[in-house]
Amino acid sequence: MFKKIGAVALSTGLVLSAMSVPVFAEKPESPGKGNGNGNGGKKIDNIIYMIPDGFSGDYASNYRVYKGEDAVWDAHLKGMFTTNSANADVTDSAAAGTAMASGVKTNNGVIGLDPEGNDLTTILDASEEAGKSSGLVATSTITHATPASFATSVESRNNETEIARQYISSEVDVLLGGGKNMFLPEADGGNQEELNLIEQAQDAGFTYVETRDELQNNADIEVVEGERLLGLFADDALSPELHRDQSVEPSLAEMTEASIEVLEQDKDGFFLMVEGSQIDWAGHANDPAWAMSDVAAFEEAVETAIDFAKQDGKTLVIVAGDHDTGGMTTGSGAYSGLNADILNQVTATGDFMATQLNEDRSNTREIVEQYTHLTITEEEVQSIEDASDTALAINRVVSDHAGIGWTSTNHTGADIPVYAYGPQAEKFAGFYDNTALPQIMADVLRVSLDN
């Protein structure tokens, strides 16, 4: 692969999208020191953009109880932002990802295109144009909406095979996640009609890996020599953290570390997006243990990124969810305290527990207590046995014990916190729209994001 080398446009401020005009709070004149807020004017070579899909303020609050202490991002809270899409008050991940990648609102379901169908330049594109390397990491299929928003353009997020095809012809250097079937032809059990995109990827300079050991053994590829890395560790999405086979699937932190090792070779710097995809899926399922365990896995990845940023000194780490999922609350129903810490004992998702019930559900108590280590009441057993959605009923029982409430099984329009660590982190202070995030990144990287 030949990297694009382009002129780096010096930005004199935020180039705000005509589609959205965010309102910024006044920036602090004297940044703090020693906490990721200092060095306000220091040059930045690298950005690690970490997206916990579906994560909002109440996820943060419950995770603090679950963990028993502050999360790594708590000390680096900078601001909040709004999330509506171009055609709806409540966004989906495609529209949110597009806004967070390009600075332009689009319609729900659309990736990389504005509402009129025009291609959009993303912060990843702009970074590549400035000669930087780039990478995308996710625990979903790598062709899912959020990672796809940074490097592809499709009218429907469901066209994951086209997204896979566009990845191979793009200039992204590292792609790690699930979704092997999106790259394989139907003859090999995949979803492509005829194309074998894994073979095409290898022809285009990608080293292909599909296990944790293979990833760790190939993290020394020479990106500066045009080598690239494609890791597809599952046919579909990766496993929830509660069920991950550590001998086969790498953790999100391990994929983050491997990506940094590859990309940091580039003296011009890099842009890396890392998504904790399944926090969102847990929110849709109203599954508190799945949510908290995947937040914990995401935090390990953030710690990996911040550790690198501390050593490097020229790396900015941004943590920002794309929207809230499930309307999680901190406390629920008849107040009984905040008990999210009990979720550390849960060893399976509600979906998995539901598959373990026999036809008449007569083993409900046995299965739920085995995997949750809770003692449930006869009334709770009956609620699960009578439910049309068994997994959801199990999750509601567990949520009640944990003191966690839910208002939806879909996304909500809640405002989302943004955290930042590294040089010029203070520029993320304030209250604004999600379209401002890539504009700020372009500003601090001194690259052109022209939409």
Residue of 93, 140, 251, 332 marked active site: 93
Q: Has 169 been annotated as catalytic?
A: no
pLDDT value at position 25? 37
pLDDT value at position 420? 98
Whole-angstrom distance, CA of residue 428 vs CA of residue 441: 9
Q: Binding site for Mg(2+): residue ranges?
A: 53, 144, 146, 275
Divide the 451 residues of the chain into consecutive groups of 10 and give the mean pLDDT of each group.
36 35 36 41 93 98 98 98 98 98 98 98 98 98 98 98 97 98 96 96 96 90 91 98 95 98 96 98 98 98 98 97 98 83 98 97 98 97 98 97 97 98 98 98 94 87
Per DSSP, the three-state class of 301 is helix
Whole-angstrom distance, CA of residue 298 vs CA of residue 278: 10
DSSP string of 146-200, one letter each residue: HHHTTT--BS-TT-HHHHHHHHHHS---EEEEE-GGGTSBGGGTSSBSS--HHHH
pLDDT value at position 224? 84
Whole-angstrom distance, CA of residue 362 vs CA of residue 385: 8
pLDDT value at position 40? 52
Whole-angstrom distance, CA of residue 321 vs CA of residue 208: 29
The dihedral of CA 103, 107, 111, 114: what is its sign?
negative
pLDDT value at position 404? 97
Whole-angstrom distance, CA of residue 92 vs CA of residue 99: 11
376 with 366: CB under 8 angstroms?
A: no
Q: Binding site: residue ranges?
A: 53, 144, 146, 275, 280, 284, 322-323, 411
87 with 67: CB under 8 angstroms?
A: no
pTM of structure: 0.91
Whole-angstrom distance, CA of residue 135 vs CA of residue 392: 35
pLDDT value at position 14? 34
436 with 99: CB under 8 angstroms?
A: no
pLDDT value at position 225? 87
pLDDT value at position 23? 39
75 with 422: CB under 8 angstroms?
A: no
Whole-angstrom distance, CA of residue 175 vs CA of residue 143: 10
Domains present along the chain, CATH in parentheses: 46-327+409-445 (3.40.720.10), 329-405 (1.10.60)
